[in-house]
């Protein structure tokens, strides 16, 4: 059957009350030729007094969309209700008209200034910080409650898991902690000796190294290293289990993920970080002593004698008391970020990075607050 050319026929000249006539094949093959006509005549046809389908031979979804654009959805629905209209074409045209009527134009995005975007980002950051703080406090309470319940029941202690995590986050971290604090102790001693020499007080370099490492550097450097090394490991381990649905399997078996996964890691950190802090203190003072012996001609016997005459116990206790608090927060943040993983490898990486950043931030923030408090108290 030869396709009929589609047409849109206006009323004869002088007879404005006569209807417009639409007919022919309104199909995809004629779309390119029909579209310019539709765009040119749609205003006239939508305002015309009458429109009739004179001899509509064929129509498909492409032609129906042009008819909707030409006449409008509401008017096309009225026209196809004519009793002599083909039932199949009526259904097609009604379906297309209803579908195109539901497509409301998307409003243009408002143009925002740099200030608005900056304030919006600040607001989002503050809101995220608030939600993270609430989640951390809730997870802390859940962990403390589980910890108290396990401590009162020795049969539920996970000794094997605790020993494995102690080796991972404690024993394996000794070389890097020792090397780093030894080098930092040497640098502190060298800088202190350089400045104090201008005042003829090079001998006080010993006190500078001892006080700085016993009070601040020993625990702070150790906590930062453990935040980058161990918190990320905790997040990656628990996050991988979350992605593989192993945590769901643990819950299905009626076991507690907090008791099996979190508590052994928290206990391991509470044991390992104070020990590593003590090692860091000794290593830092050893590095400072080496610089004093080589650069300032202070023999080791004099170095130890100055340390014995100094009031080091108070600074040592202050540094050691910070270690369990830092350890608890680092382990808690690492485990919490692991439970937040959504299931993809990208999510594991994002939450691992977040765990490291949050842990280091919390360690430095608490250390600064503790330093201000202790300074005001005269301790």
Asked whether residue 332 falls in the same domain as residue 184, the answer is yes
Mean pLDDT check: name the lowest of 113-117, 144-148, 300-304, 368-372: 113-117
Domain assignment present for 135 = no
Asked whether residue 55 falls in the same domain as residue 157, the answer is no
Task: For residue 310, give the DSSP letter.
Answer: S
Asked whether residue 145 falls in the same domain as residue 288, the answer is yes
Domain assignment present for 300 = yes
Asked whether residue 292 falls in the same domain as residue 150, the answer is yes
Domain assignment present for 284 = yes
Asked whether residue 227 falls in the same domain as residue 87, the answer is no
Domain assignment present for 120 = no
pLDDT of residue 17: 63
Give the residue-averaged pLDDT of 303-315.
82
pLDDT at 21 over 80: no
Helix (H/G/I), strand (E/B), else coil: 90: helix
Asked whether residue 94 falls in the same domain as residue 145, the answer is no
Supply the mean pLDDT for the chain: 84
Asked whether residue 184 falls in the same domain as residue 302, the answer is yes
Query: Do 94 and 77 form a contact (C-beta atoms < 8 A)?
Result: yes
Domain assignment present for 368 = yes
pLDDT of residue 175: 93
pLDDT of residue 26: 77
Render pLDDT for 210-257 as a digit per residue (tens, 0 to 9).
Answer: 888 998 899 999 999 999 889 999 999 898 888 888 888 988 888 888
Asked whether residue 204 falls in the same domain as residue 290, the answer is yes
Domain assignment present for 114 = no
pLDDT of residue 110: 66
> What pTM was computed for the model?
0.67
Render pLDDT for 31-64 as a digit per residue (tens, 0 to 9).
Answer: 887 788 777 776 666 555 677 776 777 888 887 7
Give the residue-averaged pLDDT of 192-217.
86
Which residues on adjacent β-strands are paired with residue 24? Answer: 56
Give the residue-averaged pLDDT of 322-347.
89
Shortest CA distance to 260 belongs to which of 136, 132, 143? 143
pLDDT of residue 15: 63
Asked whether residue 322 falls in the same domain as residue 181, the answer is yes
Choice between 107 and 42, residue whose per-residue pLDDT is larger: 42
Give the separation between CA 340 and CA 375, rounded to whole angstroms.
38
Q: How many domains does the chain have?
A: 2
pLDDT band at 1 (very low <50, low <70, confident <90, very high): very low
Joined together, the tokens standing for residue 181 give: 């604090």
Task: For residue 311, give the DSSP letter.
Answer: -
pLDDT of residue 330: 93
Shortest CA distance to 339 belongs to which of 264, 255, 241? 241
pLDDT at 208 over 70: yes
pLDDT band at 114 (very low <50, low <70, confident <90, very high): confident
Element (H or E) spanning 280, and its range?
helix 263-295
Please say which residue of 70, 101, 132 terminates a domain: 101
Mean pLDDT check: name the lowest of 79-88, 121-130, 142-151, 344-353: 79-88
Render pLDDT for 164-190 as a digit per residue (tens, 0 to 9).
Answer: 999 988 899 999 999 999 999 999 998
Domain assignment present for 154 = yes
Give the separation between CA 136 and CA 166, rounded to whole angstroms.
24
Domain assignment present for 240 = yes
Please say which residue of 101, 122, 156 terminates a domain: 101
48: domain range? 7-101
Asked whether residue 33 falls in the same domain as residue 158, the answer is no
Query: Do 284 and 353 form a contact (C-beta atoms < 8 A)?
Result: no
Joined together, the tokens standing for residue 11 give: 């009323």
CA 138 to chain CA centroid, Å, is: 18
pLDDT at 3 over 70: no
pLDDT band at 361 (very low <50, low <70, confident <90, very high): very high
Give the separation between CA 199 and CA 182, rounded to whole angstroms.
26
Asked whether residue 250 falls in the same domain as residue 329, the answer is yes
pLDDT at 293 over 80: yes
Asked whether residue 169 falls in the same domain as residue 272, the answer is yes
Give the residue-averaged pLDDT of 122-146.
89
pLDDT band at 360 (very low <50, low <70, confident <90, very high): very high
Joined together, the tokens standing for residue 280 give: 């860091």
Please say which residue of 50, 78, 101 terminates a domain: 101
pLDDT of residue 274: 94
pLDDT of residue 74: 76
pLDDT at 325 over 90: yes
Shortest CA distance to 284 belongs to which of 372, 374, 220, 328? 220
């Amino acid at each position: 059957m030869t396709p009929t050319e589609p047409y849109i026929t206006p009323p004869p000249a002088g007879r404005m009350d006569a209807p417009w006539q639409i007919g022919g094949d309104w199909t995809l093959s004629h779309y390119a030729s029909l579209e310019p006509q539709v765009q040119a005549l749609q205003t006239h046809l939508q305002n015309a007094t009458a429109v009739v389908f004179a001899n509509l031979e064929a129509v498909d979804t492409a032609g129906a969309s042009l008819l909707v654009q030409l006449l409008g959805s509401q008017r096309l629905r009225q026209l196809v209700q004519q009793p002599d209209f083909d039932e199949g074409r009526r259904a097609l045209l009604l379906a297309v008209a209803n579908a195109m009527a539901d497509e409301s134009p998307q409003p243009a995005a408002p143009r925002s200034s740099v200030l608005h975007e900056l304030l919006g980002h600040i607001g989002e950051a503050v809101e995220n910080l608030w939600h993270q703080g609430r989640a951390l406090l809730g997870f802390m309470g859940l962990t403390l409650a589980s910890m108290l319940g396990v401590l009162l029941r020795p049969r539920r202690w996970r000794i094997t898991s605790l020993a494995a995590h102690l080796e991972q986050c404690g024993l394996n971290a000794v070389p890097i902690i020792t090397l780093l604090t030894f080098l930092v102790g040497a640098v502190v001693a060298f800088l202190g000796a350089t400045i104090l020499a201008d005042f003829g007080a090079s001998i006080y370099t010993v006190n500078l190294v001892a006080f700085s490492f016993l009070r601040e550097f020993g625990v702070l450097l150790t906590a930062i290293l453990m935040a980058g090394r161990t918190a990320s490991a905790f997040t990656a381990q628990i996050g991988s289990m979350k992605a593989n649905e192993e945590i769901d399997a643990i819950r299905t078996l009626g076991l507690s993920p907090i008791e099996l996964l979190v508590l052994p890691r928290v206990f391991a950190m509470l044991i390992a970080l104070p020990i590593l802090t003590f090692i860091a203190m000794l290593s830092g003072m050893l590095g400072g002593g080496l610089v004093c012996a080589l650069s300032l001609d202070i023999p080791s016997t004099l170095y130890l004698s100055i340390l014995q005459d100094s009031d080091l116990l108070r600074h040592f206790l202050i540094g050691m008391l910070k270690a369990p608090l830092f350890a608890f927060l680092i382990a808690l943040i690492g485990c919490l970020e692991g439970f937040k993983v959504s299931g993809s490898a990208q999510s594991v990486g994002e939450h691992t990075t977040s765990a490291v950043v949050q842990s280091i931030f919390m360690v430095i923030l608490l250390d600064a607050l503790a330093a201000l408090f202790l300074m005001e108290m005269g301790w």
